[in-house]
Amino acid sequence: MADMSNSESVAKSLDREKNEREGSISLVVLLAAALIIIAIALALMGREEARPMILGVLCTLAVGGVFSMFALAVGVLRFSEGTPRDEIATAVVENVPEGVLVTAANGRTLYANPAYMRLIGVDRFSDVRGVERAFAGNADAAEAIFRLSQAAGEGRRAEEEIRLERGVDGERGVTWYRIRVHPIGRDRAPRMMWEISDITRERARQEDVFLELQRAIDNLDHAPAGFFSTDRDGRLRYVNATLANWLGYDLAETETARLRLDDIVSGDGAALIRQVAPAPGEVRSETIDLDLVRRNGQTLPVRLMHKVAFDNEGRAGASRTLVLDRSPGADVSETLRAAEVRFARFFNNTPLAIATVDRSGQVRRTNAAFARLFPQSTPRRIEDCTAAGDRALLGKLLEKAFGGRADLAPADAHLPGEGGKVGRFFASPVEDSDGDGEAAIVYILDVTEQRELEAQFAQGQKMQAVGLLAGGVAHDFNNLLTAIIGYSDLLLINNRPTDPSFNDIMQIKHNANRAAGLVRQLLAFSRRQTLRPEVLRLGDVLNDLQVLLSRLLGSSVELTVQVDRELWLVKADLNQLEQVAINLAVNARDAMPEGGSLFLRAENLALGEPRGAGSAQIPAGEFVVVEVQDTGTGMSDETMEKIFDPFFTTKEIGKGTGLGLSTVYGIVKQTGGHIEAESTLGEGTTFRIYLPRYVPAPEEVPPKAGQAPAKAKDLTGSGTILLVEDEESVRIYAARALSSRGYTVLEADTGEMALELMDEHGGEIDLVVSDVVMPEMDGPTLMKELRARNPGLKIIFVSGYAEDAFKRSLDGGAEDFHFLSKPFDLRELAAKVKDVLSGQA
């Protein structure tokens, strides 16, 4: 009965709206007919008679129009808001289970379907309340209803879900409603349709599903086996409570949510898991025995049941992995468990990459090291483990293994991909009765680093051998040059510049000095040159070199020198350091035949950790870095590998000795520094020299730029000098040179003879000048014997080798002596003797 009265009420309401609309149209028709009749009557009347009538009609219409405007303004008069009803649409709306309410722009209720009236518990249309009033008594719905009302007032769509402890019909119990509001019509102030649905049953079903899911998750979390799932990037998306407990993690901690596969798998096991990649359209499962890593660092032996499916994007998708505990005490035969664990650890933790293959070359099983060696994608065929050019070599090795041979020599082959990696392949046969399973085991050892070390060792051996040869030749050659330069000086003393032979003697000395420069290069390469290290302000040195370098480079090369103002001090041989800069500048000039730019920079650098690797590693420390950068043709990688080799040159025959960069390398290394080079074809080359910072004592601080140490002008003296030299020409020259300066000279060609003269003359000898390398008794041995006889005896050693190398040959290396390098001229020898005897050296 309630439903029938509700339908009748709604029908009466709609009929009333229809009658109101029809009545309004009749009034308009009647008013139009009356106006027409009046117009006809006035037309039939005379002008004078009609004029008052027309004025009356117009006044009446004007008064009516003004009254209608006021009535419309105050709301007494309004235009109809109704529209003709579509019977089919009305029938649909009246029979839908959702409550439907239509309101005007000003909130007046225009229509409510039976479902809405049942929802709010009314029987008559006159009792229908709007949504705001229907939910006014429920505090839980207040905010949602407010938002919906705002949307309705603004003429926009909105939706909310409301949970009430008591429904709008007053019945007790939790009830869920979904309320939508949206505009209908195209007017500026559209009508709003409200839809209300009771979704309590739907929510109940969702809650049941959620509870079932919670129970499933709870069962999975507390299962007797571990479980985890990862995405394709190796992030752990889910870890059950059992596995988390085994590994010592708390699922409530944020750290657990950030775990990756590499964090919980020992060694290369993660690579082994990632290699399980299904083919397109398939699901791949794999059983893997390996160790997991607990939070405290301890290992946990497990067996993984790993499953990966192909995703919609054509790639291996998320994985799902069951974890079985294989640690002692697990529910498994102890003997079997121990054997499995030992084998799994041996198989997956060995540095050898291992794979089993069948007779067709198909890879069957692999270990973790194999997955690490081929991280991009696990080869399906063993031939994919080598570069294309080495596959035949591997094929021959496998043929022998398939034939049952066990004593197979390994084969070295390049691995695929960039980087130039080299692998050493071993193979052993596997007995296979049916011929369809695993036929051979292939072991692969990455020997890339070993190959590099072997190449470096061979290069070092070659450099050492050439260095020994160069050093020996240079030492003997220095003796010859010392004699040539010395006798030239003796001849120059007795010849005036106007003598015909003076220029010839000068040419001899000049060429001897050039030869001495070549010898210094040989010694620099072999790192045996005699250095005269001094504390230097490197900025002043480079600024002084700028003019000389500009002349060497020519007008086609622009030189830019950039030096930090507060450069640290370094200790090096000034002449050798200048030679390094000159050699690098000349090489840069030759690399820029069409001209270019050369940048010479110097700056401080503090290395907190070592840079580079192998023999080229630069240790941590403080350095002054000198950088020489050109914009030349650059060098290829093959050339870069040989640039420091002696006698290697890219220049034409006769235009380079090949000792320039090897000399630079030797000087830098002997100074205690490091050098590195970078080059790109077509762009240029950069050399960086790292010189260690030197912190001097106060008395070692170098003088300011422009100041030069004072030199002795008077080279004459007196005293007895014991000269020990096995090279006769050098001994005779040195004896004549010292005698000409006023000294008494005793000559000895061996160490034994020198000791005899010492015993004969005793305290008469003031100074000993001795060679270092001599037969029977060398310089260090002679010095010990002389100091045993006369502890305060002054000694000068002369040699073509480095002073530092000589000091290292002494026991303790702390003996007091002076040093003069070969070749030397008469002035250098006299000056050194004078300084030592006077105590100025």
> Which phi and psi (to 5°) does residue 794 adopt?
-85, 135
Residue 795 lies in a domain: yes
Q: Quick one: 438 and 580 in the same domain?
A: no
**CATH code of 504's domain:** 3.30.450.20
226 or 330: which leads in pLDDT: 226
Report the CATH number that the domain containing residue 754 is assigned in CATH: 3.40.50.2300
Q: Tens digits of per-residue pLDDT, 632-642? A: 988 888 778 77
Is position 216 within any domain? no
The 3-state DSSP class for residue 495 equals coil
CA distance 559 to 596: 9
**pLDDT tens-place string over residues 750-776:** 989 989 888 888 678 889 999 888 888
Same domain, 55 and 125: no
- The confidence band for 814, taking pLDDT boundaries of 50, 70 and 90, is very low
Among 205-219, 322-336, 771-785, the range of highest mean pLDDT = 771-785
Q: Does residue 143 sit in the same domain as residue 176?
A: yes
Task: Identify the pLDDT of residue 528.
Answer: 53
CATH number at residue 591: 3.30.565.10
**Mean pLDDT of all residues in 501-517:** 79
Could you tell me the pLDDT band of residue 180, with boundaries at 50, 70 and 90?
very high
One domain, residues 661 and 802: no
Chain-centre distance of CA 789, in angstroms? 66
Domain's final residue, options 289, 322, 340: 340
Indicate the length of the chain as a whole number.
841
**Per-residue pLDDT, 4:** 40
Answer yes or no: is pLDDT of 74 > 60: no
Whether the pLDDT of residue 706 is over 70: the answer is no
The angle that helices 2-44 and 47-74 make with each other, rounded to 10 degrees, is: 150
**Domain annotation covers residue 702:** no
Contact 416, 444 (CB under 8 A): no
- Examine the domain organization and report whether 301 and 354 are in the same domain: no
**How far, CA to CA in Å, does 75 sit from each of 78, 79, 109?**
6, 10, 17
Identify the pLDDT of residue 11.
Answer: 44
Asked if residue 455 lies in contact with residue 370, where contact means CB atoms within 8 angstroms, the answer is: no
**Which distant-in-sequence residues (6+ apart) come within 8 Å of 687 by Cβ?**
584, 627, 628, 629, 664, 675, 676, 677
Q: Select from 700, 709, 723 the least CA-distant residue to 833.
A: 723
pLDDT band at 221 (very low <50, low <70, confident <90, very high): confident
Highest mean pLDDT among 186-200, 521-535, 690-704, 824-838: 824-838
- Dist. CA 398–CA 733, nearest whole Å: 74
Residue with the bigger pLDDT between 543 and 331: it is 543
Q: Which of 692, 709, 742 delimits the end of a domain?
A: 692
Rounded to whole angstroms, the Cα distance separating 239 from 220 reads: 10
Looking at residues 190-209, what average pLDDT do you find?
83
Judge contact between 136 and 235, C-beta under 8 A.
Answer: no
Confidence of residue 356 (pLDDT cuts 50, 70, 90): confident
- Are residues 598 and 680 both part of a single domain? yes
Are 372 and 499 in a shared domain?
yes
Q: Name the residue with higher pLDDT: 724 or 715.
A: 724
For the CA atoms of the chain, what is the radius of gyration? 52
Q: Specify which residues 304 forms β-bridges with.
A: 288, 323
State yes or no: pLDDT of 627 exceeds 90: yes
pLDDT for position 520? 64
* Section 406-431 average pLDDT: 80
Q: Lowest mean pLDDT: which of 1-10, 321-330, 356-365, 695-704?
A: 1-10
Does residue 33 surpass a pLDDT of 60?
Answer: yes
Residue 545 has pLDDT above 50, yes or no: yes
Looking at the structure, tell me whether residues 246 and 367 fall in a common domain: no
pLDDT at position 604, please? Answer: 92
Number of domains in the chain: 6
Show the tokens assigned to 405: 């041979």
Residue 14 in domain = no
Contact between 356 and 440 under an 8 Å Cβ cutoff? The reply is yes
Residue 784: inside a domain:
yes
Tell me whether residue 106 is in a domain.
yes
- pLDDT-based confidence at residue 599 (cuts at 50, 70, 90): very high
Provide the domain limits for residue 511: 350-527
What pLDDT band is residue 431 in, cutting at 50, 70 and 90? low
Q: Which residue's entry shows tokens 């072997």?
A: 454
The strand order across the sheet containing 363-366 reads 363-366, 353-357, 440-446, 422-429, 411-414
Q: Is the pLDDT of residue 85 over 80?
A: no
Q: In what order do the strands lie in the sheet with 818-821?
A: 744-748, 720-724, 767-771, 794-799, 818-821
Annotate 778-808 with DSSP letters as a single string. Answer: -HHHHHHHHHHH-TT-EEEEEESS-HHHHHH
Q: What is the average pLDDT value for the chain, to the nearest integer?
A: 77
Which pLDDT score is estimated for 3?
A: 42
**Together in a domain, 623 and 543:** yes
Dist. CA 659–CA 588, nearest whole Å: 15
Task: Provide DSSP, 19-72.
Answer: HHHHHHHHHHHHHHHHHHHHHHHHHHS-HHHHHHHHHHHHHHHHHHHHHHHHHH
pLDDT band at 346 (very low <50, low <70, confident <90, very high): low
Distances 181 to 147, 152, 153, 325, 659 between C-alpha atoms, Å: 11, 7, 10, 58, 91
CA–CA separation, 396 and 391 (whole Å): 9
Same domain, 356 and 504: yes
Average pLDDT over residues 23-42: 72
Q: How far lies 667's CA from each of 516, 603, 691, 761, 841, in Å?
A: 16, 20, 11, 43, 25
Lowest mean pLDDT among 92-101, 133-142, 466-475, 508-517: 466-475
Kindly tell me if the per-residue pLDDT of 710 is higher than 50: no
CA distances from 58 to 43, 54, 61, 544, 801 (A): 15, 6, 5, 115, 135
Select from 592, 585, 605, 599 the least CA-distant residue to 627. Answer: 599
Residue type, 540: D
pLDDT band at 21 (very low <50, low <70, confident <90, very high): very low
pLDDT of 10 strictly over 50? no
Task: Tell me, yes or no, whether 17 lies in a domain.
Answer: no
SS (H, E, C) 660-705: HHHHHHHHHHHCCCEEEEEEECCCEEEEEEEEECCCCCHHHCCCCC
Residue 622 banded pLDDT, cuts 50, 70, 90: very high
- pLDDT value at residue 174: 79
Averaged pLDDT, 114-126 = 83
> Percent of the chain having pLDDT more than 90?
7
pLDDT: which is higher, 329 or 183: 183
Domain membership of residue 704 (yes or no) is: no
Q: Note if the pTM is more than 0.85.
A: no
| Residue after which a domain boundary falls, among 204, 238, 270 | 204
Measured in whole angstroms, the distance separating CA 504 from the mean position of its chain's CA atoms is 65
Check whether residue 334 and residue 382 sit in a common domain: no
**Cβ contacts of 244 within 8 Å, gap of 6 or more:** 250, 251, 256
Asked whether residue 649 carries a pLDDT value surpassing 80, the answer given is: no
CA 755 from centre of chain: 67
Q: How many helices (H) and strands (E) does the chain have?
A: 25, 27
pLDDT at 131 over 50: yes
| pLDDT for res 623 | 94
**667 and 749 within one domain:** no
